[in-house]
Structure 1
Amino acid sequence: MSGELLINNVRISIKVSSISGDINVTESYGTAYIESIQGDTSIIGNFEDVKLRTVTGDIWADITEIDNVSTNNIAGDTKLSGSLKKDAQVKMTSVKGDLHYEASGILNAKCEVLSQFGGEIVNNLTTDLPNTSHMQQQQLHFVSGNGLGTLVMKTINGTAIINRAL
């Protein structure tokens, strides 16, 4: 509670939670389950499976060496960056925060992006445009590169942004 957690060089499994403190994981391997209430979370490493959950905190992850990542954020922003590994699964969800994915190189994935109730989709990666339906819901489905991975971004009332790293 109320303190920053620094986790470095863990080689099997990480399972940690915090109230009102940031969690930073670096140079670690295996699996990770991290949850935080009122704290930011960041992770870098070579992971098979990562689950990140926050309430009123931001999430940041370099997904270059992650096979499967799932984020759930209630009222903070989520930013994932890096290139998707072959057959990687990335799922980002948010209630009120923004979702950002910044692709390094070519994004090789089937992409599904959904924003409901006044949220917005910004696709700066391809020329594909979102469809707007009833109640201001926006949807965007496209395949980028060879389509071997999966990128899913769903937000209730936030913006979903896909960019290419500069």
Structure 2
Amino acid sequence: MGSLRNYLLLLLLITALPSAAGERVDESMSLGSITHVTIENLRGEVTVIGNNGDTVSVSGELDDKAEGLTFEKSGSRIIIKVEIPNNSHNSWGADGSELTIEMPKHVRVSFKGVSSNINISHFTHGSEIQTVSGDISAKDLMQQIELATVSGNIESKNLSGKLRLSSVSGDIHDRNSTGRAHFKTVSGNLSSSSSANEISANSVSGDIELKLGKVDELIVSTVSGEFESQLSLNENGLVKMSSVSGDLTVDFTNDVQASFNLKTNAGGNIVNRLTSAKATRAKYGPSSKLSFDTGNASGSVRASTVSGRIEVK
């Protein structure tokens, strides 16, 4: 009877233990003439690093539920994919993959994940990163760059080229970007310290804060989010802003030379700290408008809101 009791206790202990850790991997292959590497990982943490070598390497630990790793050449690309059975996609308590992938920095990288965080750095020929609930950390990337997540946050630094950063409910924090930048959020907040000369930013309820350099074009739209920006408007430059109830504020760091046309439609307020010109109320209805010029008026500043506040200074 005692041996049976001991056997049952041992069986109970074994079934209570957590599942074994995922498989260890350490593989590499020569790049050859390949120019594009695609990576897929359902969950976990993936670090992708560009270097001056000529091989692609994968090391770390696979997802607990992984059947294995696909690491192969297919046509003009190398495919790296953590293979997860369809019935394991929502496995509660499973540990995701922890992988480090290194490759030549001139490779174009594509990444897809679900609840997978991605850290990517030092690539010169474009990066396309998509994840659902994971965070994205990106630095020192060039050319065509797309970073997209649904509920994750985006942290970026030293991006240059044509940039597209988007998150639905997560925040975007961008530093030291250059080139042309497009930012998009729904309820997440956006902050950027950028030298990009063409910028567009869209938000629904998230706040937008931009610290910019010399700008040729800035286009901003928000529904209820607040918008604040510092910038130097170049000759013949354009600033165009719109909101429903969100406030719009621009602080010009140069002696701005532009024509200004500012308008509210339903009781909003216009504050002009550049000249002595004052907004005028419509004879009928709650709208107001203000038009004035500074300097040679070569640039253009347009702003409209339904019920928000517009301030230029």
TM-score greater than 0.5 by the shorter chain: yes
Q: Deviation per CA, 1:78-110, whole angstroms, max 9, x where unpaired?
A: 111122122211111101100111122422111
Q: In structure 1, what is the equivalent of residue 229 of structure 2?
A: 80
Counterpart in 2 of 1:23?
A: 172
TM-score (structure 2 length as normaliser): 0.50
1:68 and 2:217 matched: yes
Does 1:155 find its partner at 2:302? no
Per-residue CA distance 1:4-45 (angstroms, 9 max, x = gap): 211111111111211111112221111111110111112222
Could you tell me which of 266, 269, 281 is aligned with 1:117?
266
Structure 2 residues without counterparts, runs of 5 or longer? 1-149
The answer as to whether partners of 1:19 and 1:37 remain within 8 angstroms in 2 is yes
Q: Which residue of 1 aligns with 2:295?
A: 145
1:141 partner letter:
S
Q: Determine the structure 2 residue equivalent to 1:13.
A: 162
Q: Cα deviations across residues 44-74 of structure 1 (Å, max 9, x unaligned)? A: 2222321100011111112322211100001
1:3 counterpart residue number: 152
Q: Distance in 1 between matches of 2:254 and 2:163?
A: 29
Residue 144 of structure 1: CA displacement? 0.9
Q: Which has the higher contact order (CA 8 A, sep 6+)?
A: 1
CA RMSD after TM alignment? 1.3
**Deviation, structure 1 residue 140:** 0.5
Instruction: Name the amino acid aligned to 2:274.
Output: L
* 1:36 and 2:185 matched: yes
Q: Which residue of 2 aligns with 1:59?
A: 208
In the alignment, the residues of structure 1 paired with residue 253 and residue 214 of structure 2 have an alpha-carbon distance, to the nearest angstrom, of 12
* Aligned-partner SS, 2:260: strand
Deviations 1:129-158 (A, max 9, x none): 111113211110000122121111111110
Quick check: 1:64–1:85 contact (8 Å CA) kept in 2?
A: no
The unaligned stretches of length 5 or more in structure 1 are none
Give the percent of matched residue pairs that are identical in Structure 1 and Structure 2.
Answer: 28
Tell me, in whole angstroms, the C-alpha distance in 2 between the residues paired with 1:11 and 1:101: 24
Select the structure of larger CA radius of gyration.
2
Whole-angstrom CA distance in 1 between matches of 2:169 and 2:248: 22
User: 2: distance between equivalents of 1:62 and 1:153?
Assistant: 18
Residue 122 of structure 1, CA deviation: 1.0
Output the TM-score relative to the length of structure 1. Answer: 0.92
Runs of 4+ residues deviating >3 angstroms? none
Question: Structure 2 counterpart of 1:10, which letter?
Answer: L
